[in-house]
C-alpha cells in the first residue's frame, strides 16, 4: 500500500507536471475547491493523520486552530529542512514528486484561509531546490498557483526559502525565525505557530511527508486512510533504513510493521551481527536486539522507551564501538546547538568534552553519573527539542552497554580498537 | 483574574501574569539570570524553571503565563538540582578570577552559585574558550570570556536605547556578543551610555576604570587637583556603603572626597547653573530671532553620541551649550585658576559622574577650551566609592562638610539636573523670570517630573505658549527626534537624557539600578532642591560674580569660546 510514494514507484514517472497530471495530480485540489473548508478538515480528522516530522501532532488540529484564528494574513509553511542524521525521506519526495507537496500546501492554504506559503528547504538540498523551483513555475503556468486559481476567488503563492545549514532550524519556531531573516533559534512556546507563527501571524507548519499524505486523503477520504496501518498509527510511514543493513533505503510501509520485519524484509538483514538500533535518528534512545519485535508506530516505539521521530532507523552492527557512537552523537549536538539556552549550549559542550576524554583513556567513573544527571537536567530544562533530546542516545548507551563503557573508563581499553586510546 | 496554586498557596492574579510575577507577589523571588524587569522576556538561562502539574518538563517561570487551576511548585529537589547543574555548567565555562574581578562584590552569577549551594565544580577538565576583550572604547570594556549569553546587554541596547550596537554572533558554544563585524565598541554606533554595564550580571561589561590615574594625580605634589561631583552622585553613592537607595549624602561625600586628598571639592551643579544661564538665553534668542526650533538639550553625552550617529542631519537642533561637566572644566582652568594663581597646566580636574559616557565626552577633541584638556579624569560613582573604600574611610559615619567656594556654590535648579525633567524645570525657572521679569508664582513644575518615558507641558511666557517635551531613555528620545526629523515637532524646547530616569539612572551608578531605586534617587534630589536657599540658577551668587568678573553676559564671545561646542556627524558603523 503506497500513499506517499504511489507515483514515485511507478515506472517511467518523471515528477514533472505532465506526469503528475497524468496520474491524476491536482484532482484532489480540484475536489477540495468544491468542498467547504470544514468538510476538508473533517476528512483529515477522520484520517487520524499525525505529523511525520517527529512530534506526531494531529494534523487536523493544527489546521483547525489556524483556520479559526481571526488574524490575517495566514501562512502555510512546509518544513523541508530535513536534518536529522539518518533521515532522507523528504528528499526522495521533493526530488521525485514535488507537485504532491505543492498540491497539499495549496489545499492547506484554501482550507485555513492563507494566501501565501513557504517551503523552507535544507540548504544542502541543491537538486531538490532546483526541482521544486521548476515545479512551482509549472504550477504557476497551469494556474494551480497564482491569482484566482482555476477561476475561483482563491489565490495562493509559494516561495522557496533555503536554510543555511543549521540542524535546529528543523525545529518549527527556529525555522520561523530563520524564515523571517533572523538567527535560527527556538522561540518560547506557547504561543504555538498555529496562533503566532511567521511574522507573528497564524501559520500551519507541516513536514514534507505530512503534506504528501493530504491529496490521497482528500481523494479517497479520511476513512480509507485510517484503515491503513494500525489504529494506533494510521496510514503509512516512510522509514529511512540506513547503517549496517544489506539494502538501505526509503521504504513506505503501513505503520503496523515490526522493526524485525523492516530490517529483514526491506533491508534484507543486518550486515554482520546486530548490536543496536537507533529508531529515530541520533535524538532517539538506542534499542537492542531484545526489542526487535516492537511495532514501528509512534506510541509503540515510545512505549519501548525511544521515539520514532522522523523514521530514521539506523542499524549498528558489532563492529562499531558503542562509546565511539556516543561520542559522535555528542559532537553532532555540540556543533548544532543554537547556543540560546544555557543547559543545551553548555551541556552539549561538556558532553562532547567528557566523551573526548573517555575515548582517549582519560575518563572517570564519576563521568557516568554526571552524564546521567546532565541528561535529566537537559531534558527537563532545555528550551527546544534539540537540547531536550540531545543526550537521549548517550543515556541509553550508558544504560544498555554499561560493560563497554566501564571498560573504556576503568581499563582504558577499546576492544574494537576504534577509540584513540 | 486567574486562580492558581503556587507552593501550596492559592493566589489570584490578573490574566497574562507570568508565574514569575505571580510568585513575586507571594514574596517568592525565583532565582533567575536572564530575566530583567525592564526588558523583554528571553527565557534562555533556564534558572527560573518551575514544576507545573501535568507538564512533562520544568518550565521557565518568566516565560510561562498563568492558567486557571495551575498547580506550580517553585522549590523541589528536581528544581534545585536543575538550577544547580545549570549554574555549574555556566561556571565550567567561566574564568576563575573572581577575586580580581570588577564585579566580585556584585556578580549575580557568583551570588547565585552561593545561594544555590554550588560548592563543587564537577566539570573538572572543562576547556574554556578564550577571546580577546574589546578595549576600543574610552568608556566601556567588554570581556567576552565572562559573558554568560543572557542577552541582557543586547536587549537593553536595542529595546531601551534603540541603539543595537551589539548582537549575538556565531552558534552554540561559539556564540559571542559582538559589535558589527567585531569592529569594537568605539568603531560602531555605541553611545557609551553604559546601560549594558548595569544590565550585565557578570563582569563581562565594565567601565574603563581610571582609579589609578586619579590616585596618581592626587599624590602628585605638583598638581592642584580639583574634583567636581555631578548631582546624581550624591543621591546614589550611599548605596555603595549599604545605605538605602535614595539616601542623600551630599555632605558626607564632600568630607570623604576631601579626605581622599583633593585640593578643592567643587560641585558640577555650579556647572549646571552655568549651563542653565547659557541655555535659557540661547532658547530665548532662538525664539526671538526665529532660529532653529525645537532646541534640544545637550547635557547628556550618550544622547549626543546617539544623535550624531542616528540623526546626523538634526545636529542644528541641539543647543550649542556644553554639558555641566564640560562647562565646569574650562571655568576651573581659566577663571578659578587665575583667581587662585595656578597655571591651567598645573591644575587637574577630576570629575565624579553617574555616567560612563562622560569618559568619552571628556576626551572629545573639541573639549580643550582652556588650552589644555578641560576635564582630566572622569570617575563613575562606583569608582569613586571604591576609592573611598580603598582609603578605609568609614563613609556612613563621616561628619558633614560643605563644598569649597566659589565653584561649589549651586542652586536647587542645579540639583535637579540629575533627574529626568530637571534640566527642563531648571531652564524654565530661569527663562520665565528673564522673559517676564516677574517672580515665578510657583517654582515647581510638577508636569515635567516623574518616570513617564515622554512628558510634555505648555508654559505661558508673556503670551508665548512655550511647548516643551522631555524624554529619557534613547528609545523615547528617538520618538521625539523622528518628529523633529519630519519637521512635525510641535515643541519649542526638548530635554533628552540618554539613560532611563536621567543621570540618576546612569551607567556609572551603583548596582542594582532599577525603577524603584531610580524613583528613590529622584525623590532625594527633589528634596535637596527644596532644602536649598537658592533654587534658581540666575540667583546663584557665584554665577552672578562669574559673569560680572569674567564672562560678561550670557552668550558673550568669551562664553561662546569656553562654554559652547559643536558636534560631529558620525556613521552608523
B161-196 tens-digit pLDDT = 999 999 999 999 999 999 999 999 999 999 999 999
> Which residues of B fall within a CB distance of 8 Å from A341?
43-46
Average pLDDT over residues B113-136: 90
Cβ atoms B532, B553 nearer than 8 A: no
Q: For chain A, how many residues are written?
A: 421
pLDDT band at A337 (very low <50, low <70, confident <90, very high): very high
Residues of A in Cβ contact (< 8 Å) with B57: 379-381, 388
pLDDT band at A232 (very low <50, low <70, confident <90, very high): confident
Q: What is the mean pLDDT of chain B?
A: 96
Query: Does B37 or A190 have the greater pLDDT score?
Result: B37
CATH classification (class only), B211-563:
alpha beta
User: Which pLDDT value is given to residue A185?
Assistant: 92
| pLDDT-derived band at B226, boundaries 50, 70, 90 | very high
Q: Is A411 exposed, middle or buried (0-12, 13-18, 19+ CB in 10 A)?
A: exposed
Which residues of B does the annotation mark as catalytic? 279, 282, 299, 319, 358, 361, 366, 503
The Cα–Cα gap between A288 and A283 comes to: 16
Chain A residue closest to B175 (CA)?
A339
How far is Cα B279 from Cα B319, in angstroms, rounded to an integer? 7
Distance from CA of A396 to the nearest CA of B (A): 19
For the beta carbon of residue B552, count every other beta carbon within 10 angstroms: 12
CB spacing of B57 vs A188 below 8 angstroms: no
Which pTM value belongs to this model?
A: 0.93
State the smallest CA–CA distance between residue A154 and chain B in angstroms: 37
User: Mapping DSSP to helix (H, G, I), strand (E, B) and coil, where does residue A258 land?
Assistant: strand
Residue A231 has pLDDT above 90, yes or no: no
The contacts of residue B571 (CB under 8 Å, 6+ apart) are B309
Q: How far apart are CA A278 and CA A313, in angstroms?
A: 6
pLDDT on residue A291: 93
Is residue B298 within 8 A of residue B321, CB to CB? The reply is yes
Q: Do B173 and A183 touch (CB under 8 A)?
A: no
* pLDDT averaged over every residue in chain A: 95
On whether any CB of chain B is under 8 Å from the CB of A186, the answer is no
Neighbours of B475 (CB within 10 A): 17
What percentage of chain A has pLDDT greater than the value 70? Answer: 100
Closest CA to A43 of A53, A27, A32, A30: A32
Nearest neighbour of B44 by CB, restricted to A347, A349, A383: A383
Residue B128 pLDDT > 90, yes or no?
no
Please, what's the b/e burial string for A351-379 (b: 16 or more CB within 10 A of its CB; e: otherwise)? bbbbbbbbbeeebbeebbebbebbbbbbb
The pLDDT of residue A233 is above 90 = no
All cell numbers assigned to B258: 576631601
Check CB contact of B90 with chain A, cutoff 8 Å: yes
| Model confidence pLDDT, tens digit, residues B312-360 | 999 999 999 999 999 999 999 999 999 999 999 999 999 999 999 999 9
Q: Where are the beta strands (DSSP E) in A94-194?
A: 116-121, 157-162
pLDDT of res. A113: 96
Per-residue pLDDT tens for B363-382?
A: 999 999 999 999 999 999 99
| pLDDT of A230 strictly over 90 | no
> Residue A409: what pLDDT?
95
CA nearest to B259, candidates B386, B395, B405, B410: B395
What is the pLDDT, as a whole number, of residue A207? Answer: 96
DSSP result, B177-200: EEEGGG--GGGTT-----HHHHH-
Q: What is the pLDDT of residues A6-27, one digit of tens each?
A: 999 999 999 999 999 999 999 9
Tell me the domain boundaries of chain B.
Answer: 2-75, 101-207, 211-563
Chain A residues with CB under 8 Å of B89 CB are 342-343, 346-347, 350
pLDDT band at residue B454, thresholds of 50, 70 and 90?
Answer: very high
State the average pLDDT over residues A69-80.
96
Please give the ipTM for the structure prediction: 0.91
Residue B100 DSSP class: G
Neighbour tally for B363: CB within 10 Å: 13
- Whether residue A73 lies within 8 A of chain B, CB to CB, comes out as no
How sure is the predictor about B10, in pLDDT bands with cuts at 50, 70 and 90?
A: very high
Q: pLDDT tens for residues B19-30?
A: 999 999 999 999
Query: How far apart (Å, rounded) are the C-alpha atoms in residues A210 and A52?
Result: 5
A191 contacts: CB under 8 Å, gap ≥ 6:
none
Q: Using CA atoms, how far apart are residues A231 and A212, in angstroms rounded to an integer? A: 20
Q: What CATH class is the domain B101-207?
A: alpha beta
Q: Is A236 on the interface with B (CB under 8 A)?
A: no
- The minimal CB distance from A380 to the residues B44, B82, B174 is found for B82
Q: Is A388 on the interface with B (CB under 8 A)?
A: yes
Reported confidence tier of residue A4, pLDDT bands at 50, 70, 90: very high
Task: Indicate yes or no: CB of B172 within 8 angstroms of CB of A188.
Answer: no
Kindly list the structural domains of chain A, giving each domain's residue range(s) and its CATH number in brackets, ordered by start.
17-227 (3.40.50.11540), 230-317 (3.10.20.600), 322-410 (1.20.1440.230)
Interatomic CA distance for residues A233 and A50, integer angstroms: 8
Mutate to test the interface with A, among B16, B82, B173 (most CBs of A within 10 A): B173
Closest Cβ–Cβ partner in B43, B89, B173 for A337: B173
pLDDT of residue A354: 95
Collapsing DSSP to helix, strand or coil, A24 comes out as: coil
Q: A334 vs B173: CB contact, 8 Å cut-off?
A: yes
Where in B311-376 does DSSP place strands (E)? 347-353
* Alpha-carbon gap: A135 to the closest alpha carbon of chain B (Å): 34
Q: What percent of chain B has pLDDT over 70?
A: 100
pLDDT of residue A1: 83
User: Percentage of chain A with pLDDT > 90?
Assistant: 93
A51, A59 contact by CB (below 8 A): yes
Over residues B50-106, the pLDDT tens digits come to 999 999 999 999 999 999 999 999 999 999 999 999 999 999 999 989 999 999 999
Q: Specify the CATH class of B2-75 in words.
A: alpha beta
Amino acid at each position: 500500500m503506497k500513499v506517499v510514494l504511489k507515483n514515485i514507484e511507478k515506472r517511467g514517472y518523471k515528477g514533472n507536471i505532465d506526469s503528475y497530471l497524468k496520474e491524476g495530480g491536482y484532482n484532489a485540489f480540484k475536489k477540495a475547491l468544491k468542498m467547504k473548508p470544514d468538510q476538508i478538515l473533517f476528512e483529515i480528522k477522520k484520517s487520524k493523520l499525525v505529523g511525520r516530522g517527529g512530534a506526531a501532532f494531529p494534523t487536523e488540529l493544527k489546521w483547525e486552530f489556524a483556520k479559526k484564528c481571526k488574524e490575517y494574513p495566514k501562512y502555510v509553511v512546509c518544513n523541508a529542512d530535513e536534518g536529522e542524521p539518518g533521515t532522507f525521506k523528504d528528499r526522495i519526495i521533493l526530488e521525485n514528486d514535488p507537485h504532491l507537496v505543492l498540491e497539499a500546501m495549496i489545499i492547506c492554504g484554501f482550507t485555513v484561509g492563507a494566501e501565501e506559503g513557504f517551503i523552507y528547504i535544507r540548504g544542502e538540498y541543491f537538486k531538490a531546490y532546483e526541482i521544486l523551483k521548476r515545479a512551482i513555475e509549472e504550477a504557476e503556468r497551469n494556474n494551480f498557483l497564482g491569482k484566482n486559481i482555476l477561476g475561483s476567488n482563491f489565490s495562493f503563492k509559494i516561495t522557496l526559502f533555503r536554510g543555511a545549514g543549521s540542524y535546529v532550524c528543523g525545529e518549527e519556531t527556529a525555522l520561523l525565525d530563520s524564515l523571517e531573516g533572523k538567527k535560527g533559534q527556538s522561540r518560547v512556546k506557547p504561543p504555538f505557530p498555529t496562533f503566532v507563527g511567521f511574522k507573528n501571524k497564524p501559520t500551519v507548519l507541516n513536514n514534507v511527508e505530512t503534506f504528501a499524505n493530504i491529496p490521497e486523503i482528500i481523494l479517497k477520504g479520511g476513512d480509507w486512510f485510517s484503515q491503513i496501518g494500525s489504529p494506533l498509527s494510521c496510514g503509512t510511514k516512510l522509514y529511512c533504513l540506513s547503517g549496517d543493513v544489506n539494502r538501505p533505503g526509503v521504504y513506505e510501509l503501513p505503520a503496523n510493521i515490526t522493526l524485525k520485519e523492516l530490517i529483514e524484509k526491506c533491508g534484507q538483514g543486518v550486515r554482520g551481527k546486530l548490536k543496536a538500533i537507533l529508531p529515530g535518528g541520533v535524538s532517539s534512545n538506542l534499542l537492542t536486539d531484545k526489542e526487535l519485535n516492537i511495532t514501528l508506530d509512534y506510541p509503540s516505539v515510545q512505549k519501548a522507551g525511544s521515539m520514532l521521530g522522523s523514521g530514521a532507523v539506523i542499524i549498528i552492527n558489532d563492529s562499531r564501538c558503542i562509546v565511539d557512537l556516543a561520542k559522535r552523537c555528542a559532537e553532532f549536538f555540540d556543533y548544532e546547538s543554537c547556543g540560546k539556552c544555557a543547559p543545551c549550549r553548555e551541556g552539549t559542550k561538556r558532553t562532547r568534552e567528557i566523551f573526548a576524554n573517555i575515548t582517549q583513556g582519560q575518563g572517570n567513573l564519576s563521568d557516568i553519573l554526571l552524564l546521567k544527571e546532565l541528561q535529566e537536567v537537559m531534558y527537563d530544562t532545555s528550551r527546544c527539542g534539540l537540547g531536550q533530546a540531545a543526550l537521549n542516545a548517550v543515556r541509553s548507551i550508558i544504560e544498555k552497554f554499561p560493560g563497554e563503557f566501564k571498560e573504556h573508563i576503568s581499563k582504558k581499553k577499546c576492544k574494537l580498537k576504534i577509540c584513540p586510546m | 483574574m486567574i486562580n492558581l496554586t503556587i507552593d501550596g498557596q492559592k493566589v489570584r492574579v490578573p490574566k497574562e501574569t507570568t508565574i514569575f510575577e505571580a510568585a513575586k507577589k507571594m514574596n517568592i523571588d525565583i532565582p533567575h539570570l536572564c530575566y530583567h524587569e525592564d526588558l523583554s522576556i528571553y527565557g534562555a538561562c533556564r534558572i527560573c524553571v518551575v514544576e507545573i502539574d501535568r507538564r512533562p518538563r520544568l518550565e521557565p517561570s518568566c516565560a510561562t503565563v498563568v492558567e486557571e487551576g495551575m498547580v506550580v511548585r517553585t522549590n523541589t529537589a528536581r528544581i534545585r538540582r536543575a538550577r544547580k547543574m545549570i549554574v555549574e555548567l555556566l561556571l565550567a565555562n567561566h574564568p576563575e578570577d573572581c577575586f580580581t574581578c570588577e564585579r566580585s562584590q556584585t556578580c549575580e552569577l557568583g551570588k547565585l552559585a552561593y545561594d544555590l549551594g554550588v560548592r563543587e565544580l564537577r566539570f573538572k577538565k572543562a576547556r574554556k574558550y578564550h577571546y580577546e576583550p574589546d578595549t576600543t572604547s574610552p568608556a566601556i570594556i567588554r570581556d567576552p570570556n565572562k559573558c554568560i549569553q543572557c542577552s541582557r546587554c543586547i536587549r537593553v541596547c536595542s529595546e531601551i536605547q534603540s541603539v543595537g550596537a551589539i548582537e549575538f554572533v556565531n552558534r552554540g558554544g561559539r556564540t559571542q556578543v559582538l559589535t558589527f563585524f567585531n569592529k569594537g565598541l568605539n568603531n560602531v554606533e555605541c553611545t557609551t551610555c553604559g546601560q549594558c554595564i548595569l544590565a550585565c550580571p557578570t563582569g563581562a561589561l565594565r567601565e574603563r576604570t581610571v582609579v589609578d590615574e586619579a590616585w596618581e594625580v592626587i599624590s602628585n605634589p605638583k598638581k592642584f587637583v580639583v574634583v567636581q561631583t555631578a548631582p546624581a552622585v550624591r543621591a546614589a553613592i550611599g548605596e555603595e556603603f549599604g545605605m538605602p537607595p535614595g539616601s542623600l549624602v551630599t555632605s558626607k561625600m564632600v568630607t570623604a572626597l576631601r579626605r581622599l586628598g583633593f585640593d578643592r571639592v567643587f560641585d558640577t551643579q555650579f556647572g549646571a547653573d552655568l549651563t542653565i544661564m547659557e541655555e535659557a538665553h540661547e532658547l530665548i534668542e532662538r525664539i526671538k530671532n526665529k532660529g532653529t526650533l525645537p532646541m534640544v538639550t545637550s547635557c547628556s553625552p550618550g544622547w549626543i553620541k546617539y544623535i550624531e550617529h542616528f540623526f546626523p542631519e538634526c545636529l542644528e537642533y541641539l543647543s550649542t551649550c556644553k554639558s555641566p561637566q564640560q562647562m565646569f572644566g574650562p571655568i576651573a582652568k581659566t577663571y578659578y585658576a587665575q583667581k587662585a594663581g595656578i597655571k591651567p597646566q598645573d591644575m587637574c580636574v577630576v570629575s565624579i559622574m553617574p555616567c560612563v559616557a562622560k569618559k568619552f565626552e571628556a576626551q572629545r577633541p573639541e573639549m580643550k577650551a582652556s588650552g589644555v584638556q578641560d576635564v582630566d579624569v572622569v570617575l563613575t560613582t562606583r569608582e569613586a566609592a571604591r576609592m573611598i573604600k580603598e582609603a578605609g574611610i568609614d563613609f556612613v559615619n563621616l561628619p558633614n562638610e560643605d563644598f569649597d567656594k566659589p565653584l561649589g556654590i549651586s542652586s536647587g535648579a542645579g540639583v535637579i539636573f540629575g533627574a529626568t525633567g530637571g534640566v527642563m524645570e531648571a531652564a524654565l525657572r530661569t527663562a520665565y523670570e528673564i522673559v517676564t521679569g516677574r517672580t515665578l508664582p510657583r517654582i515647581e513644575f510638577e508636569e515635567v517630573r516623574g518616570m513617564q518615558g515622554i512628558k510634555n507641558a505648555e508654559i505661558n511666557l508673556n503670551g508665548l505658549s512655550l511647548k516643551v517635551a522631555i524624554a529619557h531613555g534613547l528609545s523615547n528620545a528617538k520618538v521625539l527626534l523622528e518628529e523633529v526629523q519630519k519637521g512635525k515637532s510641535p515643541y519649542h524646547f526638548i530635554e533628552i537624557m540618554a539613560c532611563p530616569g536621567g543621570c540618576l539612572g546612569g551607567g556609572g551608578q551603583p548596582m542594582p539600578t532599577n525603577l524603584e531605586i531610580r524613583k528613590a534617587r529622584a525623590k532625594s534630589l527633589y528634596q535637596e532642591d527644596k532644602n536649598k536657599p537658592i533654587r534658581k540658577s540666575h540667583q546663584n551668587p557665584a554665577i552672578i560674580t562669574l559673569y560680572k568678573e569674567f564672562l560678561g553676559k550670557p552668550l558673550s564671545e568669551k562664553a561662546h569660546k569656553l562654554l559652547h561646542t559643536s558636534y560631529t556627524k558620525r556613521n552608523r558603523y
